[in-house]
Structure 1
Amino acid sequence: MKVVIAIDSFKGSLSSAELGEAIEQGVKKVYPEVEIVKVPIADGGEGTVSSLVEGTAGKLIKVIVNNPLMEKIEATYGIMGDETAVIEMAEASGLPLLSLERRNPMKATTYGTGELIKDAILKGCREFIIGIGGSATNDAGLGMLQALGFKFLDENRKELGYGGEILSKVKYIDSSMKMSQLNECKFLVACDVDNPFYGSKGAAEIYSRQKGATEEMVKELDKGLKDLSEVIKKELGIDISNLSGSGAAGGLGGGLVAFLKGELAPGIDMILEKVGLEKELSNADFVITGEGRLDHQTAMGKAPVGVSKIAKKFNIPVIALAGGLTDEASQTHEKGIDSFFSIINYPITLEEAMKKETAHKFVKGNAEEIFRLIKVCEKKYSK
Structure 2
Amino acid sequence: MTSVAAGKQWRAGHCVLAPDKFKGSLTAARVAAHLAAGLRQQRPDVPVVIMPVADGGDGTVDAVVESGFARLSTTVRGPGRARVVASFAIRDHTAVIELAQASGLHLNPGKPDATMALTASSIGTGELIKTAVERGARRVVLGLGGSACTDGGTGMLTALGVRFLDEHGHQLPPGGGSLRKLARIDASAMIRVPVTVASDVDNPLLGVRGAANVYARQKGARTADVDELERGLAHFASIVRRDLHVDVVDRPGAGAAGGVGYAALAFLDAQVRPGIELVLEQLGFAEQVAGARLVITGEGCLDRQTLHGKAPVGVARAAAAAGAAVVAVAGQCSLSDQQLRRAHIEQAYALTDIEPDPQICMTEAGPLLEQVARDIAQNWLADKRHLVTDNR
Same fold (TM over 0.5): yes
| Match of residue 91 from structure 1 | 101
Q: CA deviation at 1:9?
A: 1.3
Q: Specify whether residues 284 and 191 from structure 1 end up closer, same or farther in structure 2 by C-alpha distance, changes over 3 A only.
A: same
Counterparts of 2:381 and 2:99 in 1: how far apart (Å)?
A: 45
Report SS of the residue matched to 1:159. Answer: coil
Pick the aligned partner of 2:375 from 361, 369, 378: 369
CA distance in 2, matches of 1:253, 1:335: 27
The residue matched to 2:119 in structure 1 has which SS? coil
Are 1:292 and 2:303 matched, yes or no? no
CA RMSD of aligned residues (A): 1.9
Tell me, yes or no, if structure 1 residue 115 matches structure 2 residue 127.
Answer: yes
Residue of 100, 123, 126 corresponding to 2:111? 100
Q: CA deviation at 1:146?
A: 0.8
Q: CA deviation at 1:348?
A: 6.1
Whole-angstrom CA distance in 1 between matches of 2:355 and 2:39: 24
Of residues 71, 75, 82, the one that matches 2:92 is 82
Closer/same/farther in 2, CA of residues 70 and 371 from structure 1, 3 Å limit: same
- Amino acid of the structure 2 residue aligned with 1:367: A
Partner of 2:66: 54
Q: What is the distance in 2 between the residues matched to 1:198 and 1:338?
A: 40
Q: Who is 1:191 aligned against?
A: 199
Contact in 2 for aligned 1:105/1:139 (Cα 8 Å)? no
**Equivalent position of 2:149 in the other structure:** 137
Task: Say whether residues 1:4 and 2:10 are aligned partners.
Answer: no
The question of whether the paired residues in 1 share the 8 Å contact of 2:113 and 2:219 is answered with no
Can you list the C-alpha shifts for 1:54-113, whole angstroms capped at 9, x where unaligned? 11x12222222111111122222222x324222111112111122215452211111111
- CA offsets 1:179-235 (integer angstroms, 9 cap, x no match): 3xx2xx211111111111111111111111111112111111111111111111121
Structure 2: segments with no counterpart, 5+ residues: 1-12, 386-392
Alignment pair present for 1:167 and 2:179: yes
Q: Who is 1:279 aligned against? A: 287
More off after superposition, 300-309 vs 324-333: 324-333
- The match for 2:80 is 69
Q: How far did 1:48 drift?
A: 0.6
Shift of residue 359 of structure 1? 1.9
Alignment partner of 2:318 out of 310, 331, 354: 310
Alpha-carbon distance change, 328 to 52 in structure 1, aligned in 2, over 3 angstroms: same
Which one of the candidate residues 166, 174, 180 is aligned to 1:154? 166
Q: Is the 8 A contact 2:113 2:221 kept in 1?
A: no
2:8 is aligned to none
Structure 1 CA distance, aligned partners of 2:383 and 2:66?
34
8 Å CA contact 2:204, 2:254 repeated in 1: yes
CA–CA distance in structure 2, aligned partners of residues 225 and 193 of structure 1: 18
- Runs (4 or more) in structure 1 with deviation over 3 Å come to 327-330, 344-352, 374-379
TM-score, normalization: structure 1?
A: 0.91
Alignment of 1:242-253 (within 5 A): 242-253=250-261
Q: Say which SS state the counterpart of residue 300 (structure 2) adopts.
A: strand
Equivalent-residue separation in structure 1 for 2:318 and 2:126 (angstroms): 34
Instruction: Assess, with a 3 A threshold, how the Cα gap between structure 1 residues 95 and 112 changes in structure 2: closer, same or farther.
Output: same
Provide the C-alpha distance between the structure 2 equivalents of 1:190 and 1:141, rounded to a whole number of angstroms.
Answer: 15
Per the normalisation by structure 2, the TM-score is 0.89
The CA distance in 2 between the partners of 1:289 and 1:323, in whole Å, is: 12
The 1:208–1:112 alpha-carbon spacing in structure 2 relative to 1, beyond 3 Å, is same
1:352 CA drift (Å): 3.7
Stretch moving more, 342-351 or 278-287: 342-351
Q: What is the identity, as a one-letter code, of the residue corresponding to 2:104?
A: G
Is 1:38 matched with 2:50? yes
In structure 2, C-alpha distance between the alignment counterparts of 1:367 and 1:216, rounded to whole Å: 51
**CA distance, structure 1, for counterparts of residue 274 and residue 259 of structure 2:** 16
| Alignment match, 1:359 | 365
Q: In percent, how many aligned pairs have the same letter?
A: 39
Is 17-26 or 301-310 further displaced after alignment? Answer: 17-26
Aligned-pair CA distance for 1:327: 4.5
Whole-angstrom CA distance in 1 between matches of 2:337 and 2:245: 44
**What is the CA–CA distance in structure 2 between the aligned matches of 1:222 and 1:165, rounded to whole Å?**
9
What is the aligned residue count? Answer: 371
5+ unaligned residues in a row in structure 1: which ranges? none
- 2:226 pairs, out of 211, 218, 223, with 218
Output the CA distance in 2 between the equivalents of 1:253 and 1:101.
22
Aligned residue type for 2:241: K
Q: 1:170 to 1:328 in 2, by over 3 A?
A: farther
From 185, 189, 200, the equivalent of 1:177 is 189
